Structure 1
Amino acid sequence: MSSLNDKGFNEDPVNFINKLKPIEAKRSKEAVWSTLELMLDKPLKKQGNVISKNSRKWQIAASLIFVMLFASVFGSKFYKKSVRAIAGKQEIAFLPDGSEVHLNSKSEISYNPIWWKVNREVDLKGEAFFKVKKGKKFTVVSNIGITTVVGTSFNIFARNNHYVVTCLTGKVKVVSVKTKQETLITPNQMVRFSDDGKIQLNSNVNAKLATYWSVGKFVFTQVALDEVLSEIELRYGVKIENLSNSKELYTGNFNKENDIELALNLVCKPFGLEYKKLPSGAYLIQRTL
């Protein structure tokens, strides 16, 4: 084996460590480990039973570099990259494997790009439409439910205590965090969680309707007025206060117009409601006088 002197290791170890920073940018981990092995194999100069101070420095340097490498690998496991769509906007995220995620307004995903090949897992808050590339298991996690697929397309609505999954292609496994109940759904099937976390299956839906939000459309079928107004509020990025106390259900579909007042007129007029814009920019919904 070549001696350490042949490798130029008579220099101070502090200078050597400085040359390694940042380790990831200049040298591979394999190269650094090879260097450390040479350090540890260096014969210790002795004077009686006293170890050479320079050799001791190299041992300390090797330990420091090991800690740096361990921290780098361990820390990367908890690194997360996030993509967020603010209120009134929508975003498209492309994951490391080419999978595509359309984010509805006020929604967010996060994932670990470094460990992606090992674990394709996404955390979701809000609503998103996924087009997943075939490969290893792909998991979407929220506080309410966990959805697992291999390669398929599906829509997830996960806001507050509401959780709805609609399958467009392939097969989707859905698990309730609260009850641990699970089910497998196929195209044109949808599951919705009840307030106590139980899974409710609808085996005959038009799955495409669940994704119309991604192309600028509103589609509602027997939806409570409060929920309709909440969706308009999110997608236009405005505040809407409903004072009507209406318990009626709304059915209708319309395009997302540039003017929010066109949308409010379509929703409010059938129920004898009116909207009023406040100086703050918010809207007030109330009964027609």
Structure 2
Amino acid sequence: MDHRLDDSNFEDFFNKVEVPYNKSAKEVWEQLSKQLDDNKVTKRSQIFMRPWMYVAAMLLVLFGVLSVMKFYTVKIQSQKGEHLVYNLPDGSKVSLNVQSGFTYHPYWWRFSRKINFEGEAFFDVQQGSVFQVQSAIGKTIVMGTTFNIFSRNGTYRVNCVTGKVKVVSPGNEEAMLLPSFSAEILPDGKINVSKFSNKLKATDWIDNIFSFTSVPLIHVFGEVERQYNIEIETTVSPDLIYTGHFQGKREVDEVLNLLCKPFGLKFEKISERKYRIN
């Protein structure tokens, strides 16, 4: 059977075909618009912060930043047999003797030049706002000067080399020092001021020279322990008083012999870093 379509029956065939979608473009668009209206999309409501909430958030951030700046602490510590030189943010310099240390707040330094210190150190302070050194049994306040602080074994002594230095006792007694003057806080809280003749003597430890005037011998042995990183066992009386000096460049055996001989004492080396003195 011949199924070909000729010109005569082509039109009849086409008229019999049903077009499944015979709407115009305009009608299609109107229908789509109606469907969109019938199926509305629910939008999430946006959260708007009121002005006071912005201010509160900013204040909270500011408080956090200021807290970090004020309370963040740096600790500098020298060990036995070690001298350190440390530069503070304003250019002031701290030279630490052995087993000495301090803490300070670097991010708050421009607002408050204050350190907490124990041990012995020489301070070279740049001119500026008040510079305060707080120790367990004393406080030193300066503006810009050089001075030495010794704070060990219940002793607090300050030597002023240049400028002016104010020393304050726990009982708030004060003493103002000029160059070549020294102040020591006594056990009763009083401040004893005296003059030292040799400026270098106040800081001779920087050059490894250690001078003592009427100091208990047991404390001198303690300084030897710190400088040479050794341990000394001794039962010597705390009533033995020593006046003299020694150079840190000497061997420890030489130094111990120098200290023991005037008192009739003998020392014995027990191990590499341990001595016994009787």
* TM-score normalised by length of structure 2: 0.78
Q: What are the equivalent positions in structure 2 for 1:1-289 lying under 5 Å apart?
A: 52-55=45-48, 66-177=59-170, 179-245=171-237, 247-257=239-249, 259-279=251-271, 281-286=273-278
| CA distance in structure 2 between the partners assigned to 1:87 and 1:74 by the alignment | 34
Aligned-partner residue type, residue 188 of structure 1 = S
Residue type matched to 2:164 in 1? K
Moved more, 139-148 or 196-205: 196-205
Mapped to 2, the partners of 1:204 and 1:92 lie a distance apart of 25
Displacement of 1:147: 0.5
* TM-score (ref. length: structure 1): 0.75
Report if the CA contact (8 A) 2:218-2:236 is conserved.
no
Larger radius of gyration: 2
Q: Deviations over 1:172-222 (max 9, x none)?
A: 000001x21001011111111111221111134423212111111111222
For structure 1, the 5+ residue unaligned runs are 1-50
Structure 1 CA distance, aligned partners of 2:239 and 2:158?
25
Following superposition, the deviation at residue 145 of structure 1 comes to: 0.8
What secondary structure sits across from 1:247 in the alignment? coil
Q: CA deviation at 1:60?
A: 7.2
Provide the rounded CA distance (Å) in 2 between the counterparts of 1:236 and 1:263.
10
Runs of 4+ displaced beyond 6 Å: 57-62
TM-fit CA distance, 1:139? 0.9
- Compared CA separation, residues 169 and 62, structure 1 to 2 (3 A): closer
Instruction: Tell me, in whole angstroms, the C-alpha distance in 2 between the residues paired with 1:58 and 1:180.
Output: 49
CA change 1:56–1:100 in 2 (3 A) is closer
CA distance in 2 between counterparts of 1:280 and 1:245 reads: 25
Q: Is the 8 A contact 1:154 1:166 kept in 2?
A: yes
**Pair 1:173–1:214, CA change in 2 (3 A):** same
Q: Secondary structure at the match of 1:278?
A: strand
Q: Which amino acid aligns with 2:208?
A: G
Residue-by-residue CA offset, 1:15-51 (whole Å, 9 max, x unaligned): xxxxxxxxxxxxxxxxxxxxxxxxxxxxxxxxxxxx9
One-letter amino acid matched to 1:71: G
Task: Give per-residue Cα distances to partners, 1:216-273, cap 9 Å, x unaligned.
Answer: 1111222221111111111112111222326332222221136311111111111111
Distance 1:184 1:58 in 2: 54
Secondary structure of the residue that 1:72 maps to in structure 2? helix
Take 1:131 and 1:215, find their aligned partners in 2: how far apart are those partners? 16
Aligned-partner Cα distance in 2 for 1:112–1:55: 39
SS in structure 2 at match of 1:54: coil
8 Å CA contact retained: 1:190, 1:205:
no
Give identity over the alignment, percent: 39
Across the aligned residues of Structure 1 and Structure 2, the Cα RMSD in angstroms comes to 2.3
Q: What is the CA–CA distance in structure 2 between the aligned matches of 1:251 and 1:160, rounded to whole Å?
A: 18
